[in-house]
Amino acid sequence: MIENDDPSPFPESKLTVAIIFNSKNGDYGDVLGNSEDAKAEYDSLDTVKAIESAINKGGYKTVLIEADTHFTERLKNQQIDIAFNIAEGIRGRGREAQVPAVLNFCGIPFSGSDETALSVALDKAMCKRLMSTYEIPTPGYRVMDRSDLGSDINLSFPLIIKPNAEGSSKGIPDACLAFDEVQFNEVLRRDLEIYNEPMLVEEFIEGREFTVGILGNGENTHVFSPMEIIFGKNMPSGHTIYSFEVKKDYKKYISYKCPADISKKQEQDMKDYALRAFNALGCHDFSRVDFRMNSNGDISFIEINPLPGLAPGYSDFPMLAEFSGVGYNDLVLSVLHSAIRRLNIGEGSGNL
């Protein structure tokens, strides 16, 4: 259940919430590599400030901790009751798990999913295998590296080629589709060169795109109505891809609709798949799940984001919540309160 003016579960709370993040301003030395979109997943300080302001308005004290190469030093000597984690981590396919793993190691409770859920979700192929066991339909795929160049593909064209473990459409430029084998090998070779990690090759689902937000835990889980990402007629590639370029300039190419113009059954199926994915991974507090729908109305799971972006006025999750009447501050506080309740923080802990 969402309470729009969700008050603190502990009104006299003196909890200190540490907002832990990776910003485009952090000190990362040379660990991020040099692709153009190396910091694409990182937050702006404006987003961090917006989250801080929402948490302060909820009556909590805050400290800000950048999870850059000095993270563990910054963490020392801080009095933290709970961390509000939005950090993306710094390297490897398990990078989103790094901050939760350190927090767990130090015994600091945190909002959002744990390191296992975040690692599996970030490895898209691993996650798709898990989704299949839960009968959640997902496009045909293969994971390919250099040794697969020129080999049989055994999938139906067109194909989309994307890094297996990235987010924010990093590595999904407009030119990520292949319509034949020649083009496929060109794109695969180029991407392996740039990203130096296995690529997920997936059957491209022509058609409509939706995203579903989830908030809460257990009996108090709320699944928002699917929000449609409606592609304009002027897509830079001529194809309906919510690519890196398109996300950067979304006002030019995209409009959003919620509730979407779909049947009750399609809406229910999408919400059921989203919740099933959330539970299959053991996610906590919030997540966003992306879907495509082909011309027959069949729904395919594309990915789950257990750490969805929270940039106000930009990210899909605050946007879809807003459509359902949940403003930005309420959304942030609902995530925090879900975590506080789940973790029983404050009750007899001596923190209040």
Ligand X SMILES: Nc1ncnc2c1ncn2[C@@H]1O[C@H](COP(=O)(O)OP(=O)(O)OP(=O)(O)O)[C@@H](O)[C@H]1O
Contact region with Mg ion (CB under 5 A), list: 68-76, 100-108, 283-291, 312-320: 283-291
For ligand X, give the closer residue by CB, 111 or 305: 305
DSSP bridge pairs for 211? 227, 290
Minimum CB separation of residue 296 from ligand X in Å reads 15
DSSP bridge pairs for 85? 20
User: How far is C-alpha 258 from the geometric centre of its chain's CA atoms?
Assistant: 19
Q: State how far the Cα of 27 lies from the Cα of 163, in Å rounded to an integer.
A: 25
Describe the chain by its helix, strand, coil percentages, rounded to 5.
35, 20, 45
For Mg ion, give the closer residue by CB, 241 or 340: 241
* 289 contacts ligand X (rule: CB under 6 A): no
Minimum CB separation of residue 314 from ligand X in Å reads 11
Q: State how far the Cα of 124 lies from the Cα of 294, in Å rounded to an integer.
A: 20
Q: 125 in the Ramachandran plot: left (φ > 0), alpha (ψ -120 to 50) or beta?
A: alpha
Which residues ranging from 69 to 128 are in contact with ligand X (CB under 6 A)? none
Minimum CB separation of residue 308 from Mg ion in Å reads 9
* 209 contacts Mg ion (rule: CB under 5 A): no
* 290 contacts Mg ion (rule: CB under 5 A): yes
* 172 contacts ligand X (rule: CB under 6 A): yes
Dihedral angle, C-alpha 318, 324, 327, 331, nearest 10 °: -60
Minimum CB separation of residue 110 from Mg ion in Å reads 23
* 286 contacts ligand X (rule: CB under 6 A): no
Q: Which residue has the tokens 């795929």?
A: 141
Interface with Mg ion (CB under 5 A): 290
Interface with ligand X (CB under 6 A): 139, 160, 162, 166-170, 172, 202, 204-205, 209, 241-242, 290, 292, 302-303, 305
